[in-house]
Structure 1
């Protein structure tokens, strides 16, 4: 099977990598990622002009992509630059709007920022445990860790209506939104709903929500692959230049073996992400996405820990880029289901 990028995806990858490298470099990223609105809004507009969001939606929804490999192309580039732009929330929103057959032109051109509110304090991953209720067009409940919600204008909220899950569009101006920075940069929000008006976008939305979450999980896997690649490059450069006893520490066999082990882990992570991307839209999509998220969670943590240990104390400082990559890699595991959660999902598919 040929896993090379198509010409369109290669052009998108090159453009996005160049854009992030030139305009969203490490120093700028650290400057904007931890203070409201937790990303650069001017660069968000420029990023949208590149067609990044259009690549995440299918042609019949106004985009030019939407397949698994379109998602991985975009998010691998974002991971390489640990870019805090709120693209994940836009991807989730696009998937839900596509399922609803709703107009998403304002989302795709970046003129309206969307965020998707699914998880709750007692139900961070499980749709069956969602307690937010919708009655007569009014929503009541609390949504936790809404990615990109700090400056979103519109929320797509998962709520129970008549015993089934539905998706409602809620204006940020009608709800109480508390934004904050995540520990690894970028923003999220708590969304408080108290008889808040909402417009139903999609009824009986369980399947669409699961599909959107799987797309988000695939995106996180690709982001982790990009971040692991960048972390490994930083580490190898350090091993070549840092000297001890008058010799570059990369000459020490013990460190060489550990560095080779990391390359193996990264390539395995890349392979499982490619496999999961190829299964998007197929019957076994959920299983392969869960498998990928499980392996990625373990590999990303290992790469983060090994990079810090082989750097030594300098890797714990704010000024060292590797420390920010390490935080992002560790936190990716916690997003949209951690290793334990997805391992249980994999086991369940084989037990069925």
Structure 2
């Protein structure tokens, strides 16, 4: 007998999960409180880093597996979703040599460079030590990916419902009822919570499930776009981690006119209770700090930002994802600011655990965090 699945949240994770469930012939409804990839969530915009370099081989191998699924998604949607730019890793806290060893073991093309060699190739960047280069990294169009997977989910039989904020989830006989503030309700045999920064609010209604979760911290981060001084130079993505500041950067996407470099300080924002409190206001102290960083390390950029935005990070203490199923509810929080690059693969992993086909990797499960 067919089961009904409701997926809450139409960001990258929810869209991928709905698509993968619908592909398997399941009855799927994708609920979104506003519209897919809306600015209050974590999946809006056209520029996210797609990279292979991780200090944990587990995640590098997961990126390798995800890349083939991005190829499948691109072919199915007929839309190019990843621009190849290459990526750099440097700084005293980044350890390019250790990262190179992990890429070597995963069979990912890479090169270690001295600071002087890197400066000759990328004169717009001031390097402060050895540099790791891996050329197959790039820029992912997050919003386009959400819409592509949502469309494919609908083609496979899923229903997408927008402007439907879930206020409460409660058990009813052998299934669940989801209710909205306006009194609307929807029944489901199984619920997948892929609500990103809205997850803490939903878990308030599910105390037994919340007790299993690692503590989540929601952060309102900010990102800036700085104009290129020389528009004829190709810029890579990069991650630069020092004792005094940690940054990530990538060529800006279509929503910033492709005319500058997107840059943000990692964990440079403030804590908020949930995505509901993302007010879109950039912290002027953070803006000043990031501009100072550009003046010190990025001579190839004009240090006056021409665009800026806020986004929501849902952080776990160890920055690992959370994917697990308990009593008919699957929690899917591929979070901590680095989940976008895995989206189509995560959709498959989440569909597996929601249907009972296979558990999620142990690293993502509640029991790996000392609970069961």
Q: Aligning the two structures, in what range does the TM-score lie when normalised by the shorter sequence?
A: under 0.3
- TM-score by length of structure 2 reads 0.25
Highest RCO, 1 vs 2 (Cα 8 Å, sep ≥ 6): 2
Bigger helix share: 1
Bigger strand share: 2
